[in-house]
């Protein structure tokens, strides 16, 4: 069986390499904005977003394969929400700054869902972690400005990455670190064990 990672994220690639030595990357073309708009129109719970997006990525990758029955497809999505409002990938510097300023001194939810497709069998790995940013003060304001003026915020939900300089914004977390990075590693490993994939 060939292992497929349906993601172009270098972070997910690095994390999955801790479980598998060899796997193939298939970038799934999914219109995340359209799915998000549809979920918003349905007034879906914020916890539904990561699940629906991960499933869409897995199905899109499956549709690209010649023999999907001979592959294990792993797809993942991560959402960041504050007060039941999804904070996606910021489109520009102003939006990145607004996201991080709104998170200062607050606890927010990071929700990661991994979908594992094994033939017609579907398994979900669902993980949530609470992240608290430092209170706003001069040091925090300077850290936010340094961060938003780097390339880092623009390909990450919520506008920050815990595994890089975004860590300097974070006072504490309640839950799994890897969920915040973007792939709930230990839960995924357990799921793969249960499916006899490893």
CA distances, 49 to each of 21, 35, 77, 106 (Å): 30, 8, 8, 21
Q: Are 114 and 76 in contact (CB under 8 A)?
A: yes
Token digits for 31?
Answer: 């219109």
Quote the Cα angle for 112-116-117, to 5°.
145
In the block, residue with structure tokens 């979908």 = 115
Active site residue 176: no
Return the closest-CA partner of residue 147 out of 100, 194, 92, 90.
100
Token digits for 153?
Answer: 């915020």
Alpha-carbon dihedral 27, 31, 33, 35, rounded to 10 degrees: -110
Please identify which of the residues 31, 66, 70, 77 carries the catalytic annotation. 77
Catalytic residues: 77
């Amino acid at each position: 069986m060939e292992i497929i990672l349906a993601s172009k994220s270098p972070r997910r690639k690095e994390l999955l390499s801790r479980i598998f030595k060899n796997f193939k990357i298939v970038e799934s073309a999914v219109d995340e904005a359209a799915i998000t708009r549809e979920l918003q129109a349905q007034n879906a719970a914020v916890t539904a977003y990561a699940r629906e997006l991960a499933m869409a990525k897995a199905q899109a990758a499956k549709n690209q394969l010649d023999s999907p029955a001979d592959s294990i497809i792993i797809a993942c999505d991560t959402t960041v929400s504050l007060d039941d409002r999804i904070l996606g990938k910021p489109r520009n510097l102003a939006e990145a700054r607004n996201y991080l300023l709104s998170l200062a001194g607050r606890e927010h939810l990071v929700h990661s869902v991994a979908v594992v497709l094994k033939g017609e069998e579907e398994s979900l790995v669902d993980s949530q972690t609470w992240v608290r940013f430092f209170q706003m003060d001069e040091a925090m304001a300077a850290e936010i400005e340094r961060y938003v003026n780097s390339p880092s915020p623009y390909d990450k939900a919520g506008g920050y990455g815990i595994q890089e300089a975004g860590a300097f914004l974070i006072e504490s977390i309640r839950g799994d670190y890897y969920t915040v990075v973007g792939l709930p590693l230990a839960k995924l490993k357990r799921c793969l064990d249960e499916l006899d994939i490893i």
